[in-house]
Structure 1
Amino acid sequence: MRALELGTVGEMRERLNALVLAGRKTATTGLLAEYVEETEGLEFVGERLALVGNDGDHVATIEITGVEQAPFGQVTWEHAAAEGEGDRSLDEWRAGHRRFWEGIGTPVRDDTPLVCLRFRLVTSA
């Protein structure tokens, strides 16, 4: 079973995992370039992933319910809202994600390719 690591290690990962466990976070977004860099294939509908915590521990199992590729500037509000992180608008979602990716050294533009995943919680560990 492949692993899904949300955000960066520390408080961010703990917060995002808690949102998944509470059923509020049912989507996430990643950079297509990271898949290429890690030579990893995209997730597929029906695939189950181990959601991992800060120490690599298995905190839950999720099942992928949707996979789409979209440029950063074309991510929908439906997807952004499903991330469950409290953004009140698509502009707020975009600003937060720009800050995150710039903070880890990968600035994004409107045409930067993304992978938008939808999922459901199957079990918590």
Structure 2
Amino acid sequence: MLTIYGTKNAYCDGVSRRSFLKIGMFGFGATALSLADILRAEGGTRQHAGHKAVINIFLGGGPPHQDMWEIKTEAPAEIRGEFKPIATKVPGIQICEVFPRIAARMDKFAVIRSV
């Protein structure tokens, strides 16, 4: 259960935290690799892969993705939403007009449309 400003939002099908941890620990304990094996394997690779970072924007109760990232310009006005699309640095990709700074750097972003 996630509590934000006094409201409670459930983002699961009712599995308690305790049950989730029990199931997770059983799965973790059943694996053949120990933490020491994993660290040893990572330490032996000596290859610099660069930056590893992900910024996940999760808007619980926020605006829908159709109005922010997947603007449907061909859709009827009652479906499109109130925001207008703007061009980005990447040809053929448009995003919401409230993101002009993201639009200028869109060549450095990846929009994942399914999870």
TM range (shorter): under 0.3
| Structure (1 or 2) with the greater strand fraction | 1
TM-score scaled by length of structure 1:
0.22
Structure having greater relative contact order (Cα 8 Å, sep ≥ 6) = 1
